[in-house]
Structure 1
Amino acid sequence: MDYLRTPDDRFADLPDFDFPPHYLHVDDTQGGRLRLHYVDAGPAEAAPILALHGEPTWSFLYRHMIPVLARAGHRVIAPDLIGFGRSDKPRQRSDYTYGRHVDWIAEAVEQLDLDGITLVCQDWGGLIGLRLVAQMPQRFARIVVANTALPTGDQPMGEAFENWRSYSQTVPEFRAGRIVHGGTARGLGAQAIAAYDAPFPDPAYLAGARQFPMLVPTTPDDPASDANRAAWTVLQGLDLPVLTAFGADDRIMAGLDRVFQARMPGARGQPHVLLPQAGHFLQEDVGPELAERICDFIAATS
Structure 2
Amino acid sequence: MRILRTDESRFAGLPDYPFTPNYLDAEPGLRMHYVDEGPISADPVVMLHGEPSWSYLYRHMIPMVAAAGHRVLAPDLIGFGKSDKPAHISDYSYDRHVSWLSNWLRALKLKNITLVCQNWGSLLGLRLAAEHPDLFRRIIVGNGMLPTGETSVPAVFTLWKAFATHSPWLPIGRLVQLGTERTLSKCELAAYEAPFPSSEFKAGARAFPKLVPVSEDHPASSANKAAWRVLEKWKKPFITCFSSGDPITRGGDRYMQRRIPGAHGQPHITLQGGHFLQEDSPEAFARIIIDACKSELAA
- TM bucket by the smaller chain? over 0.9
1:181 alignment partner in structure 2: 177
Alpha-carbon offset, residue 160 of structure 1: 1.7
Residue 268 (structure 1) aligned to one of 245, 250, 264: 264
Structure 2 portions without partners, runs of 5+: none
1:241 alignment partner in structure 2: 237
Using structure 1 for the length normalisation, give the TM-score: 0.97
Q: Counterpart of 1:152 in structure 2: which amino acid?
A: T
Alpha-carbon offset, residue 168 of structure 1: 1.6
Q: Distance in 2 between matches of 1:200 and 1:57?
A: 11
Matched, 1:301 2:296: yes
Residues 16-49 of structure 1: per-residue CA shift (max 9 Å, x gap): 001010000022xxxx420000000001110000
Alpha-carbon offset, residue 221 of structure 1: 0.7
Q: Distance in 2 between matches of 1:45 and 1:157?
A: 42
* Aligned-partner SS, 1:230: helix
Identity %: 52
2:89 alignment partner in structure 1: 93
Q: 5 Å matches for 1:27-176?
A: 27=27, 32-176=28-172
Q: Distance in 1 between matches of 2:168 and 2:92?
A: 21
1:256 alignment partner in structure 2: 252
Q: Distance in 1 between matches of 2:254 and 2:155?
A: 18
1:20 alignment partner in structure 2: 20
Q: Counterpart of 2:280 in structure 1: which amino acid?
A: D
Alpha-carbon offset, residue 301 of structure 1: 2.1
* Aligned-partner SS, 2:117: strand
Residues 207-239 of structure 1: per-residue CA shift (max 9 Å, x gap): 000010010000111000000000000111121
Q: Distance in 1 between matches of 2:156 and 2:251?
A: 12
Alpha-carbon offset, residue 89 of structure 1: 0.2
Alpha-carbon offset, residue 243 of structure 1: 0.6
Residues 214-270 of structure 1: per-residue CA shift (max 9 Å, x gap): 100001110000000000001111211011000100111111111110111000011
Q: Distance in 1 between matches of 2:250 and 2:167?
A: 24
* Aligned-partner SS, 2:36: strand
Q: Please say if residues 31 and 84 of structure 2, whose CA atoms lie closer than 8 Å, have aligned partners that are also in contact.
A: yes
Residue 286 (structure 1) aligned to one of 261, 281, 285: 281
Q: Distance in 1 between matches of 2:107 and 2:91?
A: 22
Using structure 2 for the length normalisation, give the TM-score: 0.98
Question: Structure 1 residues 128-137 or 161-170, which shifts more?
Answer: 161-170
Q: Distance in 2 between matches of 1:253 and 1:188?
A: 22
* Aligned-partner SS, 1:174: coil
Q: Distance in 2 between matches of 1:14 and 1:39?
A: 14
Alpha-carbon offset, residue 173 of structure 1: 1.2
Residues 44-72 of structure 1: per-residue CA shift (max 9 Å, x gap): 11000000000000000000000100110
Closer/same/farther in 2, CA of residues 127 and 275 from structure 1, 3 Å limit: same
Q: Distance in 2 between matches of 1:119 and 1:161?
A: 25
* Aligned-partner SS, 2:141: strand
Alpha-carbon offset, residue 157 of structure 1: 1.4
Q: Counterpart of 1:261 in structure 2: which amino acid?
A: Q
2:11 alignment partner in structure 1: 11
Q: Please say if residues 271 and 284 of structure 2, whose CA atoms lie closer than 8 Å, have aligned partners that are also in contact.
A: no
Q: Counterpart of 2:217 in structure 1: which amino acid?
A: D
Q: Distance in 2 between matches of 1:40 and 1:191?
A: 23
Q: Distance in 1 between matches of 2:110 and 2:206?
A: 30
Residue 228 (structure 1) aligned to one of 224, 228, 232: 224
Residues 120-142 of structure 1: per-residue CA shift (max 9 Å, x gap): 00000000000000111000000
Q: Distance in 2 between matches of 1:88 and 1:42?
A: 25
Structure 1 portions without partners, runs of 5+: none
